[in-house]
Structure 1
Amino acid sequence: MVDINLILAEHQTLETERLILRKLQLEDATEMFNYASNPEVVRYTSFEPHDSVETTKSTIANFFLPDGLNHWGIVEKTSGQLIGEIFLNIIKEKIVEFGWILNQNSWSKGYMPEAARCLFELCFNELGIEVIQAEHLTENSKSGRVMEKLGMKHLGKVYSYFPKFKQPILTDYWAITKNEYILLH
């Protein structure tokens, strides 16, 4: 049996051609605040824009650090800047959900598909995952485009609940199996 937590702990840092995925640290608060405070960036997320660096520090301390095995900061290699984060949530045995947030200055540069492919490789080749799923707010077509680039299949729409919206919100549901991913690569 695969020890998922051990493998995740052994992969504190992952690397792609242009990016370093590494565990978030309290020292990332200022750079994270740069995108977490932008209403356009957080428009499609489950949280409100951060109103201060202290809020961001608290989020790192209370959310990212305790759940650190499943979250990576995305650092652009050339600038050394933290430009976003990407995460995996283990839903059931052999199934994970992934998601991300990215600084608006880094949109449309192909960073998210690049970072996600790195995590897909980890999931399918080392963690023994059979299905990766994701969802995005229906109105957020850019996230859907990233999922298309990753070879994920749009399987329909579902309602999700995010407290900040105070009502169920329609989301698009996507997934890819290990076998589908292997056939694409």
Structure 2
Amino acid sequence: MAKECWRKGYTKEARKLVYDFAFNQLGVDEIHAQAWEKNGNSCKSMERVGFKLVRQEERVFEKYGRFFQENHYCLTKETWEIIKDSYWIPFRYVMDGMASFFCC
């Protein structure tokens, strides 16, 4: 995601739709995700919606040619069903003169 779009709630909005679709329409039981340990915002973001850290793996980050810890997370359907309603807190957001509802 482009840096100018960070911290505007777009990921949260998309995440809610994608996770609901994956669990309820596709019938998956788990969603897995990875983030570099040093990417604290991504790690915290996943943990806030119920992802649990399942393992860490040292891998080469090719962009820098160095080893970094990669965190591997898992979100279960059961956890998402418990968390999703408290995660989805609508607020009024005005964009291009049109009022819409987005999550915060």
Q: When the two structures are superposed, what TM-score results if normalisation uses the length of structure 1?
A: 0.41
Establish whether residue 158 from structure 1 lines up as the match of residue 65 from structure 2.
no
Alignment of 1:1-185 (within 5 A): 102-185=1-84
Task: Tell me the CA shift for residue 137 of structure 1.
Answer: 0.8
Q: Deviations over 1:95-142 (max 9, x none)?
A: xxxxxxx11111112221221121101100011111101111111001
Q: Deviations over 1:140-185 (max 9, x none)?
A: 0010121123221123322344543445431112111111111223
More strand per residue = 2
Q: Is the 8 A contact 2:49 2:83 kept in 1?
A: no
Flag structure 1 segments of 5+ consecutive residues without an equivalent.
1-101
Flag structure 2 segments of 5+ consecutive residues without an equivalent.
85-104
Amino acid at match of 1:116: R
Structure 1 residue ranges, 4+ long, deviating more than 2 angstroms after superposition: 159-169
Secondary structure of residue in 2 paired with 1:134 = strand
- CA RMSD after TM alignment: 1.8
Distance in 2 of aligned mates of 1:145 and 1:151? 10
Q: When the two structures are superposed, what TM-score results if normalisation uses the length of structure 2?
A: 0.68
Q: Is the 8 A contact 2:29 2:77 kept in 1?
A: yes
Q: Which has the higher contact order (CA 8 A, sep 6+)?
A: 2
Distance in 2 of aligned mates of 1:170 and 1:104? 23
Identity %: 26
Aligned position for 1:62? none
